[in-house]
């Protein structure tokens, strides 16, 4: 099983659009990342938060990676507790991609790598993928 953690691509500032859709640059970068990943990565599911920018990023990734399922999943918003995902991931055997937000993804990555929420600091930036 491989788990891919993806921070959504660059979004417009809240002042410009409160829904924070992807910026033009964010869309372009997400397409580049998706095309690159498609050469090496296969996932059965792409799960994303309910926020528009995560949905848009997930759709771009799905167009290239062709998962059997792409859907919204609870517990992937910025301030959600990452611990339920640690437990969920222990029960899965599939290769999954989770598209979400900081600080949630950073905490989840730390828990998966070290067993402690703040022990490992990963420098997620918009569009970053960690496996």
User: What are the start-end ranges of the E strands in the chain?
Assistant: 3-7, 45-48, 69-72, 96-100, 129-130
Residue-by-residue pLDDT tens, the chain, 131 positions? 999 999 999 999 999 999 999 999 999 999 999 999 999 999 999 999 999 999 999 999 999 999 999 999 999 999 999 999 999 999 999 999 999 999 999 999 999 999 877 777 888 899 999 99
Domains held by the chain: number: 1
Residues 6+ apart with CB under 8 A from 27: 9, 56, 60
Q: For the domain that residue 75 is a member of, what is the CATH number? A: 3.40.50.1240
Which structural domain range is residue 56 located in? 3-13+20-130
Look up residue 76 and give its two tokens: 């992937």
* Per-residue pLDDT at 122: 82
Do 9 and 126 form a contact (C-beta atoms < 8 A)? yes
* Per-residue pLDDT at 121: 81
Q: In angstroms, what CA-CA distances link 37 with 17, 99, 115, 118?
A: 29, 14, 27, 28
Q: In angstroms, what CA-CA distances link 86 with 24, 64, 68?
A: 33, 27, 22
What is the edge-to-edge ordering of all strands in the sheet holding 45-48?
69-72, 45-48, 96-100, 3-7, 129-130
* Per-residue pLDDT at 19: 95
Do 117 and 82 form a contact (C-beta atoms < 8 A)? yes
The DSSP code for 66 is: -
């Amino acid at each position: 099983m491989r788990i891919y953690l993806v921070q959504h691509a660059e979004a417009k500032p809240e002042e410009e659009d409160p829904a924070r859709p992807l910026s033009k640059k964010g869309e372009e970068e997400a397409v580049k990342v998706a095309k690159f990943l498609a050469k090496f990565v296969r996932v059965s599911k792409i799960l994303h938060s309910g926020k528009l920018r995560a949905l848009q990023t997930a759709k771009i990734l799905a167009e290239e990676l062709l998962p059997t399922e792409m859907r919204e999943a609870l517990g992937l918003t910025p301030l959600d507790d990452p611990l339920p995902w640690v437990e969920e991931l222990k029960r899965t055997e599939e290769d999954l991609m989770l598209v979400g937000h900081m600080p949630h993804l950073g905490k989840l990555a730390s828990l998966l790598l070290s067993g402690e929420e703040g022990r490992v600091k990963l420098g997620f930036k918009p569009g970053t993928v960690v496996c």
